Amino acid sequence: MVTFLWCTEGLVAQKKQTKKAKSAVSKTLTSKKKKINKKKLVKKRTRLNNIDKIIFKDLTQQVNSDVKPNKTDTVPEKVVTILSAFRPQLKNVAKISFTTATAQNDTTSLVLNYQVPNQNLLFQYQPVPLVPRSYKSYPTKVLRNLATLKVGYGNYLHQLADLNTTLIDNQANIHTIGIKYESLQGPLHLQSRRDFGINYLSDLNINDNNHIQSQVFYQNNHSFRYGLVEDATTLPNSNFEQAFSHVGGAFKWVNTNEKNLFALISPIFKIEHFTGTENANNTWFEIYNPLSLKFDNNFRFNFDFSYNYNQYQLAAGNKINNAILKMDPSIEMIKWNTGIKIGISPTIANGLYTFTPALAISKKLKDTTITLSAGWHTILNNNNYTSLALTNPWIMAPTDMKITTQEKKNVGLTFNSSKNLQYGFDLSLNDYKNLPLFNSVPHTGQVGLKYQSIFEYRAITIELEGNLRYQLSDQLLFKNNFKYIQFNSIKVNDKPWGINPIELNSSFTWSPNKKWSLDGGLDYWSGASFTNDKQLPFDLSNTLVLNAGFSYQLTHLWKVWAKGENLLDKPYQRWADYPSLGMQLIAGVVYSFHK
């Protein structure tokens, strides 16, 4: 029997044990040579475990060096060599399960040796050839400066000059300035018009998610009340003068951070001042702040807030103040594949408190491209001299100014036939209070024909609106809008003076290539009701107006254009006794200063 002893107490103890093991092994081998024959020795050696052999060889190298195998042994020894690159190391405690233990500095470095073939050392770098490009440097901070001047001349001494400039600075702030002048002279006495306007638009970046949009404008319109004025009149033109001056501004804060809890915060502030005839004027401002809390894609809480105030000063010096404070809390959600909006609209108008519902439902019909919608809400309009004069440019200074209330209940259908074609219809029942109407004032011949604004106490109407839109890429756009209004009851007035029962507006733009651009339009309306000199009601004739125009790019700096209005050459009357011009043609050029 062979016995091995291993001790790790130290190098000295190991040497002593090695000497004792040598003597013990030599004695044992000598006794076995005498007692055991060759066959038994072979059987015992074949039963030795390989692991024992490895341990015997590795741990007792000095013993094996003195012990020589028996020459009579014909069985070769099997040697197993294990090579491993594994190096046991202690793991930093702070890196295990991300505990809060103190991190230990690791000062060891791992040395890696790479053998690169000789042929790979002969590779050469082949750079890509550089192509020189021209670069235009600008001495100022303006990165892009676009300016276009549009001029034109046509019949009826029609003159047009329009200058537009767009600037974009280093902070990507956008500034747009427009100046426009237009004038014409008709065949009738005092049938002339002169318009001048300045408009400034800007988009200022506060940071990545917030920017402020603003608009400041000034508009001056000068014309004469030529209706029913004879050419032989000797009265000065100042008696018939109809001049308006309009100045104002609007500011809006836009927040584009969709991750914000308040998904939509875009407060708007507007202020305007308008001066009309007889020194009558009004100052109007509005604050509107839409607020939306978006909890998820299917639920949202809205709390819209608005306040607008209008101070109108009459020609006699008296003032009329109208103010509206309105809040619109509502809940929007998507349930049963249906969009539902439920809310209320508490309102204080000139000290009078009202409480109205606000409901809206939108449902896409299954397996169709049809969307069904319905709603019930109330709209308040704080009328001012500005809005009335834009509707009817021949009105006298109003003698009263009221707030219009519209309670609307509607149902509609929208058809998405394809990605290019969409159309829809909307039928509504409306209850108006203080609806503005326009009728002529008995003509005296000294100041020209005037119209007055009349506020109908209450009117109930049925209105049908339709729209159709077709768009093919960026080459063709076709839009249509239709409106029909039927008055079921009017409380005070005999007829809805100045309101067209039917209106149809159609327009298209077509760009067949990069140089050509075509546009056109069609306007149709049925005649409104007015009173004549004998105070008898009558209706104007139906009207159809065709317009068309084109532009052609000659070079990257020059463009020619032309436009025609009332191409049927049939004078019409939108307002009684104020005939329009015949066919109007104007053409000109557009020059771009820089691109």
Predicted pLDDT at 405:
97
Residues 6+ apart with CB under 8 A from 331: 299, 300, 301, 302, 341, 342, 343
Q: 9-13, 343-347, 490-494: which has the minimum mean pLDDT?
A: 9-13
What value does the mean pLDDT take over residues 291-296?
81
433 and 581 assigned to the same domain: yes
154 and 83 assigned to the same domain: no
159 and 229 assigned to the same domain: yes
User: 3-class DSSP state for residue 595?
Assistant: coil
Cβ atoms of 332 and 362 closer than 8 Å: no
Q: Report which DSSP code applies to 4.
A: -
169 and 85 assigned to the same domain: no
d(CA 523, CA 507): 9
Sign of CA pseudo-dihedral 563, 162, 160, 273 = positive
**Predicted structure pTM score:** 0.73
Q: 248 in a domain, yes or no?
A: yes
190 and 62 assigned to the same domain: no
Q: 534 in a domain, yes or no?
A: yes
Q: Is the pLDDT higher at 117 or at 366? A: 366
Q: Is the pLDDT higher at 146 or at 489? A: 489
Q: 63-72, 176-185, 186-195: which has the minimum mean pLDDT?
A: 63-72
437 and 548 assigned to the same domain: yes
450 and 538 assigned to the same domain: yes
Q: How far is CA 216 from the centre of its chain?
A: 22
Last residue of a domain, one of 260, 289, 323: 260
Burial class (CB in 10 A: 0-12, 13-18, 19+), 381: middle
Confidence of residue 258 (pLDDT cuts 50, 70, 90): low
Tally of structural domains, the chain: 3
Q: Which of 6-15, 138-147, 494-503 has the highest mean pLDDT?
A: 494-503
Predicted pLDDT at 142:
46
Last residue of a domain, one of 230, 260, 290: 260
Take residue 61 and report the two structure tokens written for it: 């190298």
Q: 488 in a domain, yes or no?
A: yes
Q: Is the pLDDT higher at 13 or at 115? A: 115
Q: How far is CA 338 from the centre of its chain?
A: 24
Predicted pLDDT at 380:
95
Checking 335-338 for CB contacts under 8 A at 24+ apart, the result is: 335/298, 337/363, 337/364, 338/362, 338/363
Q: 16-25, 382-391, 573-582: which has the minimum mean pLDDT?
A: 16-25
Take residue 533 and report the two structure tokens written for it: 């000199």
What value does the mean pLDDT take over residues 101-130?
49
Sign of CA pseudo-dihedral 428, 431, 436, 438 = positive
Q: 550 in a domain, yes or no?
A: yes
Boundaries of domain holding 249: 146-260
Predicted pLDDT at 34:
45
574 and 461 assigned to the same domain: yes
Q: Is the pLDDT higher at 78 or at 404? A: 404
Q: 296 in a domain, yes or no?
A: no
d(CA 443, CA 230): 13
Q: 84-88, 308-312, 473-477, 545-549: which has the minimum mean pLDDT?
A: 84-88
The CATH number given to whatever domain includes residue 516 is 2.40.170.20
Q: 103-112, 446-455, 466-475: which has the minimum mean pLDDT?
A: 103-112
Q: 66-70, 306-310, 546-550, 585-589: which has the minimum mean pLDDT?
A: 66-70
Cβ atoms of 382 and 405 closer than 8 Å: no
d(CA 503, CA 574): 12
d(CA 547, CA 519): 8
Q: Report which DSSP code applies to 52.
A: H
Q: 477 in a domain, yes or no?
A: yes
Q: Is the pLDDT higher at 558 or at 99? A: 558
Question: Which regions of 103-235 does DSSP assign to beta strands (E)?
Answer: 144-154, 158-168, 174-185, 192-205, 210-224
* Percent of the chain whose pLDDT exceeds 70: 74
What value does the mean pLDDT take over residues 39-53?
42
197 and 67 assigned to the same domain: no
What value does the mean pLDDT take over residues 268-289?
94
Sign of CA pseudo-dihedral 67, 68, 72, 73 = positive
536 and 430 assigned to the same domain: yes
User: 3-class DSSP state for residue 590?
Assistant: strand
Last residue of a domain, one of 78, 93, 108: 93
Q: Is the pLDDT of residue 201 over 50?
A: yes
169 and 83 assigned to the same domain: no
Sign of CA pseudo-dihedral 226, 230, 232, 234 = negative
Confidence of residue 47 (pLDDT cuts 50, 70, 90): very low
d(CA 89, CA 582): 99
What value does the mean pLDDT take over residues 548-566?
95
Predicted pLDDT at 503:
97
Q: Is the pLDDT of residue 30 over 80?
A: no
Q: 109-123, 264-278, 327-341, 434-448: which has the minimum mean pLDDT?
A: 109-123
Q: 110 in a domain, yes or no?
A: no
Q: Which of 38-42, 158-162, 250-254 has the highest mean pLDDT?
A: 158-162
Take residue 513 and report the two structure tokens written for it: 């290539």
**Which pLDDT tens digit goes with each residue over 523-535?**
999 999 999 988 8
Q: 494 in a domain, yes or no?
A: yes
Q: 85-99, 326-340, 410-424, 437-451: which has the minimum mean pLDDT?
A: 85-99
Nearest to 437 by CA among 396, 378, 392: 392
79 and 192 assigned to the same domain: no
